[in-house]
């Protein structure tokens, strides 16, 4: 069931994949998928072996004033990665770098399940939202790679709040600031 879910999410994205189609390709009844996982969200998180559930994290980020969103996003990312989710996060990152399908799943996870929900509150057009979300993702993924994978100093040993102070303004600019957006 999880293998079928991975295939469907990687091929069709979170929105395009349906529990009905996943159940059908796994040769089981959709009711069984619902019974085991409860929701498409939960099935997706299980399929990517997500180390954290964004449904618990996003509301906390969105509780801050809009001009502090950048800091809140960086602070949350560091709290997740400095906590017990780190091994799972590293495993997901490793797998995404080695495997195009997991890369698609991680992209769906980051964009559809986390960043899109944060950016959606800002009231831009969909194209602008996607562009801003991809810039935010570029800084966050790089922060994680530099701090936890390459262990670049002083980022690797720095206090979370000092990193929030350095990188938060970048994420804030990407989210709400005056930025020339990437386009074809």
Which residues of this chain interact with a second copy, rule CB under 8 A?
93-94, 96-98, 103, 106-107, 110-111, 127, 130-131, 134-135, 137-143, 145-147, 149-155, 157-159, 162-163, 165-167, 169-170, 173-174, 179-184
Residue 27 beta carbon to a second copy: minimum distance, rounded to whole angstroms: 31
Extract the tokens encoding 46. 């299980």
State the nearest-atom distance from the C-beta of 28 to a second copy, in Å.
30
Cβ proximity to a second copy: between 21 and 120 the closer is: 120
Q: Which is nearer to a second copy, 59 or 154 (CB)?
A: 154
Q: CA 103, CA 171: separation in Å to the nearest integer?
A: 22
CB of 132 to a second copy, least distance (A): 9
């Amino acid at each position: 069931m999880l293998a079928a879910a991975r295939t469907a999410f990687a091929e069709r994205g979170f929105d395009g994949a349906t529990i009905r189609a996943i159940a059908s390709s796994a040769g089981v009844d959709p009711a069984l998928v619902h019974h085991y996982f409860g929701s498409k969200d939960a099935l997706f998180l299980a399929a990517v072996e997500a180390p954290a559930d964004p449904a618990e994290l996003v509301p906390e980020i969105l509780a801050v004033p809009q001009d502090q969103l950048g800091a809140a996003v960086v602070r949350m990312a560091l709290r997740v990665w400095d906590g017990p989710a780190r091994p799972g996060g590293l495993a997901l990152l490793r797998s995404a770098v080695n495997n195009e399908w997991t890369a698609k799943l991680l992209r769906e996870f980051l964009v559809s399940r986390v960043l899109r929900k944060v950016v959606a509150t800002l009231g831009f057009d969909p194209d602008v939202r996607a562009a801003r979300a991809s810039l935010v993702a570029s800084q966050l993924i790089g922060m994680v790679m530099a701090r936890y994978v390459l262990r670049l100093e002083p980022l690797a040993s720095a206090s979370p709040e000092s990193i929030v102070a350095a990188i938060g303004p970048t994420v804030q600019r990407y989210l709400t600031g005056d930025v020339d957006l990437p386009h074809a």
